[in-house]
């Protein structure tokens, strides 16, 4: 699969909803009810991060059992991570940054990559490789909506999913930018609701996030 086809898949995923939840899951048994709650609330694209031993099992379960979910893998750091995510059934991969080895693994895989960039130089380097859809990370510490908005004119080919320090309150500032399709956020699946099995609470958070769609430029 060529880079352009994979870019089209990334764009389609970014356009599914205004927010992609960034999930840290400690118990794979929570994955399916959590994902069903998110989908029911209007948030189908879900990024499960490789920050816990349960992550790959959670991805497998969501991919196999949750209709309407588009499950991806986050915190992809190495080619090994990339291949494990693909085998688990992930539909997209997200990295906080990039390395030559990770980009080579992405070239050799059918799994679309949303790579991270925090500077204009990093974004330009990825653009040279054919990547038009990027994760801006860490969004708030790196400069926030003002920095990302400043890139819109000199880098009009690029569209972003800013992630890192974003909340329901601050998300509209990013979503109003012309070069932003969606944001990533961890507030939709807080640890207390995951551990407590509060799936209706997660569904409500998803519904609130889905309503942000109206502010997208």
Give me the catalytic one of 6, 47, 193, 203.
47
Mean pLDDT value across residues 36-52: 98
Residue 214: its pLDDT value, please? Answer: 55
Q: Does the 3-215 domain belong in CATH 3.30.360.10?
A: no
Mean pLDDT of the chain: 96
* Contact predicate 202/34, CB 8 Å: yes
- Whole-model pTM: value is 0.96
Does the annotation mark 86 as catalytic?
no
Give residue 213's pLDDT band: very low, low, confident or very high (50, 70, 90). Answer: confident
Does the annotation mark 135 as catalytic?
yes
Q: Give yes or no for residue 124 having a pLDDT over 70.
A: yes
Looking at the chain, the whole-number percentage of residues with pLDDT higher than 70 is: 98
Give me the catalytic one of 11, 67, 86, 135.
135
């Amino acid at each position: 699969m060529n880079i352009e086809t994979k870019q089209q898949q990334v764009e389609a995923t970014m356009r599914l909803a205004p927010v992609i939840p960034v999930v840290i899951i400690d118990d794979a048994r929570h994955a399916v009810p959590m994902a069903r709650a998110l989908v029911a609330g209007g948030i189908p694209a879900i990024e499960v991060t490789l920050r816990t031993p349960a992550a790959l099992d959670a991805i497998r379960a969501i991919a196999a059992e949750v209709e309407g979910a588009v499950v991806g893998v986050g915190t992809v750091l190495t080619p090994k991570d990339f291949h494990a995510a693909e085998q688990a059934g992930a539909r997209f991969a997200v990295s906080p940054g990039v390395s030559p080895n990770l980009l080579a693994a992405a070239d050799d895989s059918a799994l679309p990559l949303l790579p991270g960039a925090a500077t204009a130089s990093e974004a330009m380097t990825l653009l040279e490789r054919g990547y038009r859809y990027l994760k801006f990370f860490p969004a708030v510490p790196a400069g926030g909506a003002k920095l990302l908005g400043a890139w819109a004119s000199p880098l009009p080919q690029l569209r972003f999913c800013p992630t890192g320090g974003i909340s329901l309150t601050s998300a509209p500032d990013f979503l109003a930018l012309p070069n932003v399709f969606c944001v990533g956020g961890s507030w939709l699946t807080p640890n207390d609701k995951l551990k407590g099995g509060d799936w209706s609470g997660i569904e409500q958070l998803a519904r609130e996030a889905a309503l942000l769609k109206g502010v997208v430029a």
